[in-house]
Amino acid sequence: MEHWQQRWENAWREIVLRRRTGLQARLGRALLRIASWPYGGTIRLRNWLYDHRWLSIHAAAVPVISVGNLSMGGTGKTPCIEYIARYYRQRDIRVAVLSRGYGGLDSRNDEALLLEESLPDVPHLQNPDRVAAAECAVHELESQLLLLDDGFQHRRLHRDLDIVLLDATQPPERDALFPRGMLREPFTALARAGHLVITRTDQVSPAELDALYRNITRRFPSLPIAQAIHEPESLRWGDKVLPPQSLAERSVVAFCGLGRPDAFRRTLEQLGARLLDFRVYPDHYPYTSADVAELHRWAATTPPDTWIVTTRKDWVKLRLDELGGRPLGTLTITWRLTTGAETFHAALDRISTLILQESTLEAEPGSVSGKEFPASPCETAITDGSLNSTRQGCNPST
Pairing type for strands 240-242 and 95-99 reads unpaired
**Annotated binding residue at 77?**
yes
Residue 396 lies in a domain: no
Q: Are residues 113 and 225 in the same domain?
A: yes
Q: Which amino acid is at 289?
A: S
Identify the pLDDT of residue 387: 42
- Which pLDDT score, from 0 to 100, does residue 357 have? 76
Exposure string over 159-190, b if 16+ CB within 10 A, otherwise e? bbbbbbbbbbbbbbeebbbbbbbbbbbbbebb
Give the Cα separation of 237 and 254 in Å (integer): 14
Residue 392 lies in a domain: no
Q: Are 142 and 191 part of one and the same domain? A: yes
Name the residue among 194, 176, 184, 156 with its Cα closest to residue 75. Answer: 184
pLDDT (0 to 100) of residue 5: 64
In a domain, 235, yes or no: yes
Count of residues in the chain: 398
- Predicted confidence at residue 285, as pLDDT, reads 86
Closest CA to 71 of 154, 145, 133, 153: 153
- Domain hosting residue 86, numbered range: 64-230+336-379
Q: What is the CATH number of the domain that holds 341?
A: 3.40.50.300
For residues 276 and 219, membership in a common domain is answered with: no
| 74 annotated among ligand-binding-site residues | yes
Q: Binding site annotation covers 340?
A: no
Do 164 and 299 belong together in one domain?
no
| pLDDT the model gives residue 277 | 95
Query: Do the annotations mark residue 78 as ligand-binding?
Result: yes
Pairing of strands 195-199, 95-99: unpaired
Q: Is there a single domain that holds both residue 290 and residue 349?
A: no
Number of structural domains, the chain?
3
| Residues 154 and 127 both lie in one domain | yes
> What pLDDT is recorded for position 367?
42
Is 104 known as a binding-site position?
no
Chunk the chain into consecutive blocks of 10 residues (it has 398) and report each block's average pLDDT, rounded to whole numbers.
64 79 88 94 96 95 95 84 95 93 59 81 92 95 95 95 94 89 93 96 94 95 96 90 94 91 92 95 87 95 94 92 93 94 97 81 47 36 35 43
According to the annotation, is 73 in a ligand binding site? yes
- pTM, 2 dp: 0.84
Distance in angstroms between the alpha carbons of the first and the last residue of the chain: 33
